[in-house]
Chain A
Amino acid sequence: EAGVAQSPRYKIIEKRQSVAFWCNPISGHATLYWYQQILGQGPKLLIQFQNNGVVDDSQLPKDRFSAERLKGVDSTLKIQPAKLEDSAVYLCASSSIGAGGYTFGSGTRLTVV
């Protein structure tokens, strides 16, 4: 089966600019996650979708981050405006309900300068 696709792989922007990341999960996976992985740390959950509804966005900085999953398939994560501390790898993952364990994409490495 095809894996979780993410784009772009790398992005460099200046602070206060906006940026968007895209994720296409494994076909049929109802649950989709966005994680932020800062250098030297483990991944931290930003938002969890089940189908096209948000299950948990308690760790999402809503003043600057937004995410959507239209039609319960693809998802986009947006940052506007970006700050230096947003420099990280943004990982998308998907799973079928109750599967235990996710499949991760390769991530998008964001550098804010």
Chain B
Amino acid sequence: AQSVTQPDIHITVSEGASLELRCNYSYGATPYLFWYVQSPGQGLQLLLKYFSGDTLVQGIKGFEAEFKRSQSSFNLRKPSVHWSDAAEYFCAVGIDNTDKLIFGTGTRLQVFP
């Protein structure tokens, strides 16, 4: 069965530091992969998505993610974190070429000034 694992429940970084959030997936075929961000009291906003092609995907707000098939990973990165990036981040995998998504349990990012 398809699944998504986000090993880090909570990450704390200093403003200006680099960031990497981990995501591992379980899926038989080439997956559709997504990263969403959720600010407190808000819905989820799509940061970026991978369907095929270039394995390094650029998203909004300066985020990027790299698909590594050999590691079944789709880690999210940002070179310099801003205080406004503090939020919860969810990785998701698309199911069987449908529009259905399975989400990980999320990683809460805290940013210190």
**B-binding residues in A (CB < 8 A):** 4, 31, 33, 40-45, 48, 56, 91, 93, 95, 97-107
Beyond A42-B90, A48-B99, A101-B34, whether A107 also contacts B105 by CB under 8 A is no
**A-binding residues in B (CB < 8 A):** 4, 32, 34, 36, 41-46, 49, 51, 90, 92, 94, 99-106
Out of B99, B100, B101, B106, which one reaches A98, CB within 8 Å? B99
* Contact, CB under 8 Å: A100 / B45: no
Extra A-B contacts (5), CB below 8 Å, given A100-B32, A100-B99, A104-B43: A41-B106, A42-B90, A42-B105, A56-B100, A101-B46
Main secondary structure of the interface of A (DSSP, over half): loop
Residues of A within 8 A of B104 (CB): 42
Out of B44, B49, B105, which one reaches A100, CB within 8 Å? B49
* Contact, CB under 8 Å: B43 / A105: yes
Bound complex: CA of A44 vs CA of B101, how far in Å? 8
A59 to chain B, nearest CB (A): 10
* Contact, CB under 8 Å: A41 / B99: no
Residues of A within 8 A of B32 (CB): 100
Residues of B within 8 A of A33 (CB): 99-100
* Contact, CB under 8 Å: A104 / B99: no
Q: Considering the complex, give the chain B residue whose CB is closest to the CB of A99.
A: B99
B85 to chain A, nearest CB (A): 18
Bound complex: CA of A40 vs CA of B43, how far in Å? 15
Bound complex: CA of A41 vs CA of B88, how far in Å? 11
* Contact, CB under 8 Å: B99 / A106: no
Q: Considering the complex, give the chain B residue whose CB is closest to the CB of A10.
A: B41
